[in-house]
Structure 1
Amino acid sequence: MKGSSLLAAATLWAVALSKSIRPAPHRLQARDVDPTELYPGHNISVPIDHFHNETKYAPHTNASFNLRYFFDASHYKPGGPVIVLQSGEDDATDRLPYLQKGIVAQLANATNGIGVVLEHRYYGTSFPTANLTTESLRFLTTEQALADQAYFAQHVVFPGMEHMNLTAPNVPYIVYGGSYAGGFAAFTRKLYPNLYFGAISSSGVTEAVYDYWQYYEPIREYGPPACIEAQTKLINVIDNILMKNDSATVQELKTGFGLETLTYNDDFANIVSSGIGGWQNRNWDPAVNSPEFSYYCGNISSTQVLWPGYSTMASTASSLIEAGGWGNETATLTNSLLNMMAFTNDSYGVASCDGPLDSCYDNHNASATMYTDKSLDNFNALSWAYQYCTQWGYFQRSGSC
């Protein structure tokens, strides 16, 4: 059962390109000590090309690059393991809260181990090449990154602990990861069992999936019922308005969300469907849990207008709900739509974009900076996109919520 579509066919590519299956960086609470102040970064030199017999990596190279890692040995006692959190498709500094007080800190404390956050090649500062052209990105594969993981365990020398042999298999290594990095952890254990004693694969993605509409099904099935009901109905309202394509009504809808200058309807649909994606960033550990999904659900399921400035737009919201085919429920949906508009405007509106909205959210312009800038600084736009376009897929169109 697949319910509402939110321009499913039109937005399949745009939604995937901007979101795909990646967790958002953990956001520190105000009381937190910035973990970058606690854990300095270190580098280990690893081969750029581990597979000289594979033609897809030609032309081959014997050069090496600096792979960044962070570690905490404050819990270590001889005999303890090395617990390596693979940072996956993100800058490794975004995973440092897990070293500070999350799962890595807990495991290291419980086992007298060393906690490590290891960066994935082509993210953060760990670049094998000088730019991110398609030719340069040929070394960005899960296979090469897994070989980096193995090389790290065999060759690392932790600063200040040079007198100890803390390499595998002399010391038990355990790899941890979530989502893509969770699949990565499972692959590490499967391919390098002599180096990695164990693996913890959290929500591990172990299969390439092209059309991944099922991504949203757990949210529909297990999310807060009031939130999912409101989400389903509001998205259906938006779907119906966009599908009818009455220019005046569409413009009124975009204006309500603070996105009136956004040119393309599927870019608009991409943004307004983003709130429910915060589900992935929840965590069983309160110390590193993201509250974004709860904030979003609290907004759209509230019976009150939570943003005072939007109270004056009640008649507009009601007319949009009627235009979207849910006029018989304006009494219950109006405040939900107003809160959804306000929440989205606050997160993605003009104030959050340094320039015209199209410069931030347009997926149509092939000459946009996000596509044409091949510098290392643009890894957030290019590295993961290259991985899911060449290896993994995970194009997330809407399912039923």
Structure 2
Amino acid sequence: MVLTTVLAALLSITLADAAIPNAMLRGRPGLPQIPVPERSLTSADGTALPPITTVYYFNQLIDHTNPSLGTFQQRYWMDWEFYEAGGPIILMTPGETDADGYEGYLTNETVNGMIAQQQNGAAVLVEHRFFGYSNPYDNLTSQSLELLTIQQAIDDLLLTIQQAIDDLVYFAQNADLPMPGGDNVKPDTTPWILVGGSYSGALTSWTMVNKPGIFYAGYASSGVVEAITDYYGYFTPIREYMPQNCSSDVQAVIAYLDQMYDEGDAAGIQTLKEAFGLGDLIHDDDFASALQYNLFDWQSLQPDVGPGAMFFEFCDALEVKDGVNAPATGWGLENAIYSWGNFWNTTYYAYVCGDTDAETCLGTYNTTQSYWTDVTVNNANRSWFWMVCNQVGYYQVGPPEGQPAIVSRILQPIYEERQCVNMFPQKFATPPLPSVAEVDMMYEGWNVEVDRLFFANGLRDPWREATVSADGLYKSNTTTQPIYEGDGFHCSDLITDNGVVDATIYTVQMAGLEYMKTWLAEYN
């Protein structure tokens, strides 16, 4: 299976659990999963509650610009354990993933449920269109002889940010929720709160910008509000917060690779590939991409991570020698190549590729592989890739000259844009440029100014540079649009227990709850 830097399996699954053999956890935005906890079997008014895993269906418009196309069944889940009449509805989509398994976000194990508990509200989780099984069509093909299929639907702008925004609004305005009184809690009589994390955090901001007045308040965790093509900033927080000795040695190896590439030293690059057990990997850019894998493991970290996390295993392999830690400058290039390569040979290759050869596992040039041709429903990689190629970019590449580099400058946006052609050859004859400028203009990106929208970000989050907490942005923190930062990772503040582990995350969570309490007290 080919693996690309813009697409990933869910951050919470392990390699052994992956639905596709050898799938690697990559740097795609997304929410961490949590186990579905036990909760009360009765609601606040004493009525019995159905299992939290109960699936409900909503007749969602296929195309909000052309309602005559009809509807499709959009899946959703909900819980009203804490609900009392007059309380708010807390709505979330987990974004670019199958929503089944995210039911924990309905409980007070998360900020969603904490708001519901504090405000006597009900929590709803709705699946994003074209992810999971909320799909108007029964496949993800790019062409069809008789039916209107996903590719034609995409051509008609059915899988876009705007359609996703319109889905949330239409759901809020039309869903008759399956709880007592659920047919009388529309936004014109009841405050709705939109919560999201990562891409869905951005969708929270974009929705409140584009459709003001529908959602009374919003909570955006690690919201990647700014669409960016050349997203080298993904690696900035990683470089800043990873062990300095590890960063120094990674930079040494990357500088060595880039120097050989600039000098056309094919023999030297081949020798370096072989040190990592990747001598069969044909293309130099695929080798440079493979070296990113160890860095992408950072995204799955959370405050309570133990010392066995794969990212820290990687750094320990580079920096601990005979029980002694390297100084801040690292052990130097020669040891870094040997140690990093040995880690790939003894541990990491099997973790990534299993028994698959390097070119099949890591290469991106053989377009006959199933990774590019799999058009079955519930293929989140394919659906998200469409949004990446067309609208948001987020290509995780090497930095400009003059900046420290833990990722090779061999990797530029064209590396990812070429793969858009691989995935959608019927649509793209040449590598496409995503319309990030249009997205940022329409939905205001970093320039967002919306009342009652709470932003929560993590300083260690690799997606920080696409949020309103990006370095150098200095966005104002106001009482109507607060911006709080904790010492967490990606969407750390959404998980209740992370506030127990890290006091800075607890401060963010409590601030969010206090703002919701204040704002809802003003609801008329």
Q: Which TM-score band (shorter chain)?
A: 0.7 to 0.9
Alpha carbons 1:282, 1:293 under 8 Å: kept = no
Q: CA deviation digits over 1:312-341, x for unaligned, max 9?
A: xxxxxxxxxxxxxx9955457744553455
Which residue of the partner structure matches residue 152 of structure 2? 135
Match of 1:151 in 2: 170
Given that residues 230 and 300 in structure 1 are in contact (C-alpha distance below 8 angstroms), is that contact kept between their aligned partners in structure 2? no
Distance 2:359 2:31 in 1: 24
2:141 matches 1:126: no
> Which of 157, 173, 178 is the aligned partner of 2:197?
178
Matched, 1:69 2:76: yes
Name 1:5's counterpart in structure 2: none
Amino acid at match of 2:312: C
Give the CA deviation at 1:283: 4.6
- Give, in whole Å, the separation in 2 of the partners of 1:214 and 1:125: 33
The one of 20, 28, 32 aligned to 1:26: 32
* Range that drifts further, 19-28 or 211-220: 19-28
List runs of 5+ in structure 2 lacking aligned partners. 9-24, 40-50, 143-150, 323-329, 400-404, 407-524
- The correspondence for 1:296, drawn from 311, 327, 331, is 311
- SS of the residue 2:388 aligns to: helix
Query: 1:47 is aligned with what amino acid?
Result: L
Say if 1:186 and 1:206, in contact at 8 Å, map to a contact too: yes
- Summarize deviations over 1:112-150 as a string: whole Å, max 9, x none: 221222211000111022332221323100101100000
* Structure 2 equivalent of residue 362 of structure 1: 363
Q: 1:268 to 1:329 in 2, by over 3 A?
A: closer
Given the superposition, is the C-alpha separation of residues 248 and 191 from structure 1 closer, same or farther in structure 2, using an over 3 Å criterion?
closer
Contact 1:72 1:114 in 2 (8 A): yes
1:252 to 249, 255, 274: 274
Percent identical pairs in the alignment equals 26
Structure 1 distance, partners of 2:124, 2:344, is 39
Q: For 1:170 and 1:376, how far apart are their aligned partners in 2?
A: 37
Residue of structure 1 in register with 2:395 after alignment: 395
> What's the CA shift for 1:67?
1.1
Paired with 1:273 and 1:48, the residues of 2 have a C-alpha distance of 38
- Equivalent residue for 1:116? 124
Q: Give the Å deviation of 1:189.
A: 1.3
Q: Does 1:92 align with 2:102?
A: no
- Distance in 2 between the 1:333 and 1:369 partners? 33
Checking the alignment, whether the CA contact within 8 Å between 2:105 and 2:112 is kept in structure 1 is yes
| Gap change, CA 1:156 and 1:254, over 3 Å in 2 | same
Whole-angstrom CA distance in 1 between matches of 2:212 and 2:285: 45
Q: Is the 8 A contact 1:87 1:120 kept in 2?
A: yes
Q: Under a length normalisation based on structure 1, what TM-score does the superposition of the two structures give?
A: 0.75
Secondary structure of residue in 1 paired with 2:82 = coil
Residues in 1 aligned to 2:81 and 2:247: alpha-carbon distance in whole angstroms? 44
Q: Check 1:340–1:230 CA distance in 2 against 1; reply closer, same or farther (3 A cut).
A: farther
In structure 2, distance between residues paired with 1:332 and 1:362: 24
Q: Distance in 2 between matches of 1:253 and 1:221?
A: 27
Structure 2 match to 1:323: none
Paired residues, number: 350
Given that 1:271 and 1:348 are in contact with CA atoms closer than 8 Å, whether structure 2 keeps it comes out as no
Measured after TM superposition, the shift of residue 391 of structure 1 is: 1.0
| Structure with more of its chain in helix, by fraction | 1
Name 2:420's counterpart in structure 1. none
Q: Is the 8 A contact 1:241 1:250 kept in 2?
A: no
Compare 181-190 and 363-372 and name the one that shifted more: 363-372
**Partner residue, 2:416:** none
Q: Greater CA deviation, 367-376 or 390-399?
A: 367-376
Report the Cα offset of residue 238 of structure 1: 5.2
In 2, Cα distance between the equivalents of 1:329 and 1:217? 21
1:386 aligns with 386
C-alpha change, 1:222 and 1:212, in structure 2 (3 Å) is: same
Which consecutive residues of structure 1, in runs of 5 or more, have no partner in the other structure?
1-12, 53-59, 307-325
Q: Is the contact between residue 21 and residue 179 of structure 1 (CA under 8 Å) also seen in structure 2? A: no
Counterparts of residues 316-335 of structure 1 (less than 5 Å): 330=334, 334-335=338-339
Name the counterpart of 2:236: 217
For 1:40, the aligned partner's letter is T
1:292 deviates by 9.7
Distance 1:65 1:292, change over 3 A: farther
CA contact (8 A) 1:21 1:180 kept: no
CA RMSD after TM alignment: 3.5
Matched residues in 2 for 1:230 and 1:327: separation? 7
Contact 1:301 1:336 in 2 (8 A): no
Q: What SS does structure 1 have at the residue aligned with 2:73?
A: strand
Pairwise mapping of residues 260-279 of structure 1 onto structure 2 (< 5 A)? 261-279=280-298
SS of 1:161 mapped into structure 2:
coil
Deviation at 1:364, TM superposition (A): 1.1
Match of 1:318 in 2: none
Where does residue 338 of structure 1 map in the other structure?
Answer: 342
Name which of structure 1's ranges 116-125 and 337-346 shifts more when overlaid on structure 2.
Answer: 337-346
Judge which range, 142-151 or 268-277, deviates more.
268-277
Could you tell me whether the CA contact under 8 Å between 1:177 and 1:204 is conserved in 2?
Answer: yes
Question: Offset of 1:358 from its aligned partner?
Answer: 4.1
Mapping for residues 299-318 of structure 1, pairs under 5 Å: 299-301=314-316, 303-304=319-320
Alignment match, 2:88:
81
Alpha carbons of 1:396 and 1:159: their partners in 2 closer, same or farther (altered >3 Å)? same
User: CA distance change for structure 1 residues 22 and 253 in 2, over 3 Å: closer, same or farther?
Assistant: same
